[in-house]
Protein backbone atom coordinates (compact mmCIF):
# COMPACT_ATOMS: atom_id res chain seq x y z
CA UNK A 1 0.00 0.00 0.00
CA UNK A 2 1.00 3.63 -0.40
CA UNK A 3 2.06 5.77 2.48
CA UNK A 4 -0.77 7.88 3.86
CA UNK A 5 1.28 10.93 2.72
CA UNK A 6 1.49 9.80 -0.92
CA UNK A 7 -0.93 10.54 -3.72
CA UNK A 8 -3.29 8.05 -5.27
CA UNK A 9 -1.30 5.84 -7.62
CA UNK A 10 -2.46 3.98 -10.69
CA UNK A 11 -0.39 1.41 -12.50
CA UNK A 12 -1.13 0.25 -16.00
CA UNK A 13 -0.14 -3.38 -16.52
CA UNK A 14 -1.05 -3.41 -20.20
CA UNK A 15 -4.19 -3.99 -22.28
CA UNK A 16 -7.16 -3.33 -19.91
CA UNK A 17 -5.43 -4.08 -16.61
CA UNK A 18 -5.20 -1.10 -14.24
CA UNK A 19 -4.36 -1.10 -10.53
CA UNK A 20 -5.56 1.93 -8.54
CA UNK A 21 -4.21 2.29 -5.01
CA UNK A 22 -4.44 4.60 -2.05
CA UNK A 23 -3.10 4.11 1.45
CA UNK A 24 -6.38 2.38 2.34
CA UNK A 25 -7.52 0.33 -0.66
CA UNK A 26 -6.31 -1.44 -3.81
CA UNK A 27 -8.65 -1.94 -6.79
CA UNK A 28 -7.52 -4.05 -9.74
CA UNK A 29 -9.50 -3.80 -12.99
CA UNK A 30 -9.50 -6.64 -15.56
CA UNK A 31 -6.31 -8.43 -14.46
CA UNK A 32 -4.30 -9.75 -17.39
CA UNK A 33 -0.58 -9.18 -16.96
CA UNK A 34 2.80 -10.09 -18.37
CA UNK A 35 4.64 -12.81 -16.47
CA UNK A 36 8.22 -11.89 -17.37
CA UNK A 37 9.88 -8.49 -17.18
CA UNK A 38 11.72 -7.02 -20.14
CA UNK A 39 13.31 -3.67 -20.94
CA UNK A 40 10.62 -2.78 -23.45
CA UNK A 41 6.91 -3.12 -22.76
CA UNK A 42 6.82 -5.30 -19.64
CA UNK A 43 8.35 -3.21 -16.87
CA UNK A 44 5.40 -4.23 -14.66
CA UNK A 45 4.51 -7.92 -14.32
CA UNK A 46 2.38 -10.20 -12.19
CA UNK A 47 5.04 -10.05 -9.46
CA UNK A 48 4.46 -6.28 -9.12
CA UNK A 49 0.87 -6.72 -7.96
CA UNK A 50 0.34 -6.06 -4.24
CA UNK A 51 0.30 -8.85 -1.68
CA UNK A 52 -3.40 -8.19 -1.16
CA UNK A 53 -5.98 -6.70 -3.53
CA UNK A 54 -9.17 -5.51 -1.84
CA UNK A 55 -11.28 -5.59 -5.03
CA UNK A 56 -10.87 -7.16 -8.42
CA UNK A 57 -13.33 -5.66 -10.90
CA UNK A 58 -14.17 -7.63 -14.04
CA UNK A 59 -15.84 -5.70 -16.85
CA UNK A 60 -17.04 -8.62 -18.99
CA UNK A 61 -16.38 -12.27 -19.77
CA UNK A 62 -14.19 -12.00 -22.87
CA UNK A 63 -10.90 -13.83 -22.55
CA UNK A 64 -8.79 -10.66 -22.56
CA UNK A 65 -10.66 -9.30 -19.52
CA UNK A 66 -11.51 -12.47 -17.58
CA UNK A 67 -8.29 -14.49 -17.75
CA UNK A 68 -8.70 -17.63 -15.66
CA UNK A 69 -4.96 -18.32 -15.48
CA UNK A 70 -4.28 -14.96 -13.83
CA UNK A 71 -7.29 -15.13 -11.53
CA UNK A 72 -6.35 -18.55 -10.16
CA UNK A 73 -2.89 -17.23 -9.27
CA UNK A 74 -4.45 -14.22 -7.52
CA UNK A 75 -7.12 -16.19 -5.64
CA UNK A 76 -5.44 -16.27 -2.17
CA UNK A 77 -4.63 -12.54 -2.41
CA UNK A 78 -8.09 -11.13 -3.17
CA UNK A 79 -10.78 -9.74 -0.90
CA UNK A 80 -13.80 -9.48 -3.23
CA UNK A 81 -14.48 -9.85 -6.94
CA UNK A 82 -16.96 -7.38 -8.49
CA UNK A 83 -18.86 -8.45 -11.61
CA UNK A 84 -21.96 -7.46 -13.62
CA UNK A 85 -25.17 -9.49 -13.53
CA UNK A 86 -25.81 -11.86 -16.44
CA UNK A 87 -28.96 -12.60 -18.46
CA UNK A 88 -30.26 -16.01 -17.32
CA UNK A 89 -31.12 -18.49 -20.05
CA UNK A 90 -28.99 -16.85 -22.72
CA UNK A 91 -26.30 -19.22 -24.00
CA UNK A 92 -24.20 -16.28 -25.19
CA UNK A 93 -24.30 -14.70 -21.73
CA UNK A 94 -22.93 -17.24 -19.21
CA UNK A 95 -22.84 -16.47 -15.52
CA UNK A 96 -19.50 -15.02 -14.46
CA UNK A 97 -20.41 -15.84 -10.87
CA UNK A 98 -20.60 -19.56 -11.67
CA UNK A 99 -17.31 -19.35 -13.56
CA UNK A 100 -15.65 -17.68 -10.57
CA UNK A 101 -17.16 -20.22 -8.20
CA UNK A 102 -15.54 -23.00 -10.22
CA UNK A 103 -12.24 -21.10 -9.97
CA UNK A 104 -12.55 -21.04 -6.18
CA UNK A 105 -13.81 -17.49 -5.55
CA UNK A 106 -16.53 -17.31 -2.89
CA UNK A 107 -16.79 -13.58 -2.17
CA UNK A 108 -18.33 -12.23 -5.38
CA UNK A 109 -20.41 -9.05 -5.59
CA UNK A 110 -22.88 -9.01 -8.52
CA UNK A 111 -23.85 -5.48 -9.53
CA UNK A 112 -26.66 -4.04 -11.60
CA UNK A 113 -26.04 -0.78 -13.50
CA UNK A 114 -25.62 2.19 -11.12
CA UNK A 115 -25.06 -0.04 -8.08
CA UNK A 116 -22.40 1.39 -5.77
CA UNK A 117 -19.82 -0.15 -3.46
CA UNK A 118 -18.45 2.16 -0.78
CA UNK A 119 -14.65 2.28 -0.61
CA UNK A 120 -12.38 3.88 1.99
CA UNK A 121 -12.30 7.48 0.83
CA UNK A 122 -14.52 6.91 -2.19
CA UNK A 123 -16.79 4.61 -4.15
CA UNK A 124 -17.01 2.20 -7.05
CA UNK A 125 -20.02 2.43 -9.38
CA UNK A 126 -21.08 -0.01 -12.10
CA UNK A 127 -22.09 1.64 -15.38
CA UNK A 128 -23.62 0.10 -18.52
CA UNK A 129 -21.81 -0.06 -21.81
CA UNK A 130 -23.00 -0.78 -25.35
CA UNK A 131 -20.92 -2.45 -28.02
CA UNK A 132 -18.27 -5.17 -28.28
CA UNK A 133 -20.81 -8.02 -28.15
CA UNK A 134 -22.00 -8.21 -31.77
CA UNK A 135 -25.45 -6.79 -30.90
CA UNK A 136 -26.29 -9.92 -28.93
CA UNK A 137 -28.48 -9.66 -25.84
CA UNK A 138 -25.54 -9.85 -23.44
CA UNK A 139 -26.05 -8.16 -20.07
CA UNK A 140 -22.81 -9.26 -18.42
CA UNK A 141 -20.75 -6.16 -19.05
CA UNK A 142 -19.98 -3.05 -17.06
CA UNK A 143 -17.94 0.11 -17.17
CA UNK A 144 -16.49 1.34 -13.92
CA UNK A 145 -16.53 4.74 -12.26
CA UNK A 146 -13.97 4.89 -9.46
CA UNK A 147 -13.56 7.73 -6.96
CA UNK A 148 -10.73 7.47 -4.45
CA UNK A 149 -9.29 10.27 -2.31
CA UNK A 150 -10.95 12.91 -4.46
CA UNK A 151 -9.59 11.43 -7.72
CA UNK A 152 -12.06 10.30 -10.37
CA UNK A 153 -11.51 7.64 -13.02
CA UNK A 154 -13.81 6.11 -15.63
CA UNK A 155 -12.96 2.79 -17.25
CA UNK A 156 -15.21 2.61 -20.29
CA UNK A 157 -13.65 -0.61 -21.58
CA UNK A 158 -14.65 -1.63 -25.13
CA UNK A 159 -17.62 0.71 -25.42
CA UNK A 160 -19.09 1.46 -28.82
CA UNK A 161 -20.57 4.78 -27.78
CA UNK A 162 -23.42 4.91 -30.27
CA UNK A 163 -25.77 6.93 -28.06
CA UNK A 164 -24.45 10.21 -26.58
CA UNK A 165 -27.55 10.47 -24.39
CA UNK A 166 -26.51 7.35 -22.49
CA UNK A 167 -23.24 9.05 -21.56
CA UNK A 168 -25.03 12.27 -20.68
CA UNK A 169 -27.06 10.32 -18.15
CA UNK A 170 -23.92 8.56 -16.90
CA UNK A 171 -22.35 11.97 -16.39
CA UNK A 172 -25.31 13.00 -14.27
CA UNK A 173 -24.91 9.93 -12.05
CA UNK A 174 -21.17 10.29 -11.50
CA UNK A 175 -21.35 14.02 -10.78
CA UNK A 176 -20.31 17.11 -12.67
CA UNK A 177 -16.65 17.30 -11.61
CA UNK A 178 -14.12 16.64 -14.36
CA UNK A 179 -12.58 13.18 -14.47
CA UNK A 180 -8.89 12.82 -13.80
CA UNK A 181 -8.73 10.15 -16.50
CA UNK A 182 -11.08 8.37 -18.89
CA UNK A 183 -9.98 5.05 -20.42
CA UNK A 184 -11.71 3.84 -23.56
CA UNK A 185 -11.13 1.02 -26.05
CA UNK A 186 -11.15 1.88 -29.75
CA UNK A 187 -11.03 -1.44 -31.57
CA UNK A 188 -13.58 0.13 -33.90
CA UNK A 189 -13.55 -2.74 -36.42
CA UNK A 190 -13.56 -5.92 -34.39
CA UNK A 191 -13.77 -9.59 -35.19
CA UNK A 192 -16.98 -10.98 -36.73
CA UNK A 193 -19.70 -12.63 -34.69
CA UNK A 194 -18.55 -16.23 -35.16
CA UNK A 195 -14.95 -15.52 -34.13
CA UNK A 196 -16.02 -15.54 -30.47
CA UNK A 197 -19.67 -16.55 -30.33
CA UNK A 198 -19.84 -19.15 -33.08
CA UNK A 199 -19.80 -22.20 -30.74
CA UNK A 200 -22.63 -20.68 -28.66
CA UNK A 201 -25.04 -20.07 -31.54
CA UNK A 202 -27.85 -22.55 -32.05
CA UNK A 203 -27.61 -22.14 -35.83
CA UNK A 204 -24.88 -20.73 -38.07
CA UNK A 205 -25.47 -17.14 -39.22
CA UNK A 206 -25.49 -16.05 -42.83
CA UNK A 207 -22.24 -14.54 -44.08
CA UNK A 208 -23.68 -11.01 -44.30
CA UNK A 209 -24.87 -11.20 -40.69
CA UNK A 210 -21.54 -12.57 -39.53
CA UNK A 211 -19.64 -9.76 -41.25
CA UNK A 212 -21.95 -6.98 -40.09
CA UNK A 213 -22.21 -7.95 -36.41
CA UNK A 214 -18.77 -7.37 -35.01
CA UNK A 215 -16.93 -6.94 -31.72
CA UNK A 216 -16.65 -3.19 -32.21
CA UNK A 217 -15.42 -0.45 -29.94
CA UNK A 218 -15.68 3.29 -30.58
CA UNK A 219 -14.63 5.35 -33.59
CA UNK A 220 -13.03 8.77 -33.14
CA UNK A 221 -16.39 10.54 -33.37
CA UNK A 222 -18.06 8.28 -30.84
CA UNK A 223 -15.17 8.45 -28.37
CA UNK A 224 -15.12 12.23 -28.73
CA UNK A 225 -18.85 12.29 -28.05
CA UNK A 226 -18.19 10.54 -24.73
CA UNK A 227 -15.83 13.28 -23.63
CA UNK A 228 -18.47 15.90 -24.41
CA UNK A 229 -20.73 14.25 -21.84
CA UNK A 230 -18.09 13.06 -19.36
CA UNK A 231 -15.32 15.71 -19.41
CA UNK A 232 -11.84 14.60 -18.41
CA UNK A 233 -8.39 16.09 -17.99
CA UNK A 234 -6.90 12.99 -19.62
CA UNK A 235 -8.10 10.48 -22.19
CA UNK A 236 -6.34 7.16 -22.66
CA UNK A 237 -7.03 4.71 -25.46
CA UNK A 238 -6.38 1.24 -24.09
CA UNK A 239 -7.34 -2.45 -24.44
CA UNK A 240 -6.07 -2.58 -28.02
CA UNK A 241 -4.32 -5.95 -27.62
CA UNK A 242 -0.95 -4.74 -28.90
CA UNK A 243 1.26 -5.89 -26.04
CA UNK A 244 3.22 -8.97 -27.03
CA UNK A 245 1.73 -11.09 -24.23
CA UNK A 246 -1.80 -10.27 -25.40
CA UNK A 247 -1.33 -11.50 -28.97
CA UNK A 248 -1.74 -15.09 -27.83
CA UNK A 249 -5.22 -14.23 -26.51
CA UNK A 250 -6.37 -11.86 -29.23
CA UNK A 251 -4.39 -12.52 -32.39
CA UNK A 252 -4.14 -8.80 -33.20
CA UNK A 253 -1.22 -7.01 -34.79
CA UNK A 254 -2.25 -3.69 -36.30
CA UNK A 255 -0.34 -1.87 -39.01
CA UNK A 256 0.17 1.92 -38.98
CA UNK A 257 -2.63 2.31 -41.53
CA UNK A 258 -5.08 -0.03 -39.76
CA UNK A 259 -8.44 1.65 -39.22
CA UNK A 260 -8.19 1.08 -35.46
CA UNK A 261 -4.88 2.96 -35.31
CA UNK A 262 -6.04 5.70 -37.67
CA UNK A 263 -9.24 6.34 -35.70
CA UNK A 264 -7.49 6.37 -32.33
CA UNK A 265 -4.79 8.69 -33.73
CA UNK A 266 -7.53 11.09 -34.85
CA UNK A 267 -9.13 10.96 -31.41
CA UNK A 268 -5.82 11.61 -29.64
CA UNK A 269 -5.05 14.56 -31.92
CA UNK A 270 -8.51 16.01 -31.36
CA UNK A 271 -8.10 15.74 -27.59
CA UNK A 272 -4.69 17.40 -27.65
CA UNK A 273 -5.97 20.21 -29.85
CA UNK A 274 -8.45 21.09 -27.11
CA UNK A 275 -6.01 20.83 -24.21
CA UNK A 276 -6.84 17.29 -23.09
CA UNK A 277 -3.83 15.11 -22.33
CA UNK A 278 -4.23 12.00 -24.50
CA UNK A 279 -2.34 8.95 -25.70
CA UNK A 280 -2.78 5.36 -26.80
CA UNK A 281 -1.40 3.16 -24.06
CA UNK A 282 0.80 0.16 -24.77
CA UNK A 283 2.99 -1.77 -22.38
CA UNK A 284 3.15 -0.63 -18.76
CA UNK A 285 3.01 2.76 -17.06
CA UNK A 286 2.77 4.29 -13.61
CA UNK A 287 1.29 7.62 -12.53
CA UNK A 288 0.71 9.48 -9.30
CA UNK A 289 -2.41 11.64 -9.03
Q: Which strands, in side-by-side order, build the sheet including 17-21? A: 108-111, 78-84, 53-57, 26-29, 17-21, 9-14, 285-288
At residue 200, the pLDDT reads: 86
Task: For the chain, give the percent of residues with pLDDT over 70.
Answer: 98
Q: 162 or 200: whose pLDDT is higher?
A: 162
**Domain ranges (residues) in the chain:** 9-288
- Where does the pLDDT of residue 24 fall: very low under 50, low under 70, confident under 90, or very high at 90 and above? very high
DSSP 8-state assignment for residue 216: -
At residue 196, the pLDDT reads: 92
pTM of the model: 0.95
Is it the case that residue 90 has pLDDT exceeding 60?
yes
Give the SS3 label for residue 147: strand
Is it the case that residue 222 has pLDDT exceeding 50?
yes
At residue 2, the pLDDT reads: 56
pLDDT in tens, 172-187: 999 978 999 999 999 9
CATH number for the region 9-288 comes to 3.60.15.10
Instruction: Report yes or no: 94 and 121 within 8 Å, Cβ to Cβ.
Output: no
At residue 6, the pLDDT reads: 54
Amino acid sequence: MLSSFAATRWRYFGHACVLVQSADVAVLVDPTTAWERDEGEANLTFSDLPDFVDYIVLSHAHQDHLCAEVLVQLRPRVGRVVIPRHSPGNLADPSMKLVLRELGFNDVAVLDPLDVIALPGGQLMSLPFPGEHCDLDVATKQCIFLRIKGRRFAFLVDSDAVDPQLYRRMGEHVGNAKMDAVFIGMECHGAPLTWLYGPLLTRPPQRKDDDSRRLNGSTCERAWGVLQQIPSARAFVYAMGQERWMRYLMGLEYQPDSVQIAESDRFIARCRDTGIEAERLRGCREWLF
